């Protein structure tokens, strides 16, 4: 059972997510997935890494 709220209890504000930033992240994820399927590499893991060390 839930307890009753007291005077000292304060509700925390909900975290908001910027829809523009969320859309950018989703676009990056989809682009990376497309490259992974085409070239069989994971660009998000290989970014900046020396890929010739196979």
What tens digit of pLDDT does each residue of 1-54 get? Answer: 677 766 666 777 777 888 899 999 999 999 988 888 888 776 666 655 555 554
8 lies in a domain? Answer: no
- Within a domain: 39: yes
Averaged confidence pLDDT in the chain: 76
Any domain includes 2? no
Specify the number of domains making up the chain.
1
Burial readout 16-41 (b: 16 or more C-beta within 10 A, e: otherwise): eeeeeeeeeeeeeeeebeeeeeeeee
Look at residue 23 in the predicted model and tell me its pLDDT. Answer: 93
Query: Cα(50)–Cα(24) distance, rounded to whole angstroms?
Result: 26
Q: How far apart are CA 9 and CA 11, in angstroms?
A: 7
E strand or H helix at 46, and its extent? helix 43-46
- Residue ranges making up the domain that contains 30: 18-46
| pLDDT computed for residue 50 by the predictor | 55
């Amino acid at each position: 059972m839930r307890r009753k709220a007291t005077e000292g209890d304060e509700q925390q504000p909900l975290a908001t997510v910027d829809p523009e930033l969320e859309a950018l992240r989703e676009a990056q994820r989809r682009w990376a997935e497309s490259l992974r399927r085409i070239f069989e590499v994971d660009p998000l893991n290989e970014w900046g890494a020396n890929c010739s060390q196979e």
